[in-house]
Amino acid sequence: HLNCYIISIVTNRIGDFGLLLGILGLYWITRSFEFQDLFEIFNNLIYNNEVHFLFVTLCASLLFAGAVAKSVQFPLHVWLPDAMEGPTPISALIHAATMVAAGIFLVARLLPLFIVIPYIMNLISLIGIITVLLGATLALAQNDIKRGLAYSTMSQLGYMMLALGMGSYRAALFHLITHAYSKALLFLASGSIIHSMEAIVGYSPEKSQNMVFMGGLRKHVPVTQIAFLVGTLSLCGIPSLACFWSKDEILSDSWLYSPIFAKIAWSTAGLTAFYMFRIYLLTFEGHLNVLS
């Protein structure tokens, strides 16, 4: 637990350090902390070539580093799965909806500033697409139910960052809201599953959270099974459910931005369905493996 705590602290401090330096750099250029004044002065300075382009890019990159750490983007993504040691309702609130949303919101709020620096927009979408693919691939290989959901969160946050890099901030914030509801439902359902597993294996996170020991829980927790299935279907992008609308918007915008990124994003949408149903089937279908 101490090791997980240290990893969380260090990676978040790296992001915070970048964010503070970026804020100071921006203040040094514009002499303002007000968003509206800041954007106006910044755009005028760039338009009139009154500020060094490299320095501006550096400040924007440092600001983006803060968002990368908070929103578990590659390469500062290592802290979230380890932070899943906490209680499940905390995971549902902080690690699905509120804290990880801070980085996405920061980038969305500073988009008028980033949009005049093309290199930064390309960097944001590149980091986003790497995170999308990496999160989905890592989620496929997890046996711990909460770690699987954590990597799933990472992948979905990658979609939001990709959308912001493409300039479609409406789709990004829409996906932020739809994903928050779906993922909170999945985390709360996983807490119910872990709680019911503890009745059999005792308090042991290595066993109670391990999907290898689960199976056939549909008979024991039918309400949880329905809730988990609804959350899974939404996250997979089944039409008429929440995440379908937001993810569809991001995917259709990605074709206009870059066909390569679009192909990766589309194939990862298939991977999302694969790893989510893997978690669902390992947990609820078949027979209880801990007894066999």
CA distance 173 to 164: 9
Distance CA 26, CA 136 (A): 35
| pLDDT of residue 201 exceeding 70 | yes
| Among candidate residues 84, 89, 94, the one with its CA nearest the CA of residue 205 | 84
**Torsions phi, psi for 189 (to 5 deg):** -65, -40
Average pLDDT over residues 131-138: 95
Q: What residue spans of 71-144 are helical by DSSP H?
A: 79-83, 88-93, 101-109, 111-114, 118-140
pLDDT of residue 151: 93
- Tokens 């039918």 appear where? 222
pLDDT in tens, 95-129: 777 888 899 999 999 999 999 988 999 999 999 99
Residue whose C-alpha is closest to residue 131's, from 74, 64, 81: 74
Model pTM? 0.93
Q: From CA 285, how far away is CA 291, in angstroms rounded? A: 15
Answer whether residue 292 shows pLDDT above 70.
no
pLDDT in tens, 220-242: 899 999 999 999 999 999 999 99
| Bridge partners (DSSP) listed for residue 144 | 210
CA distance 75 to 56: 22
Query: Can you tell me the distance from the alpha carbon of 152 to that of 125, in angstroms, rounded to the nearest whole number?
Result: 18
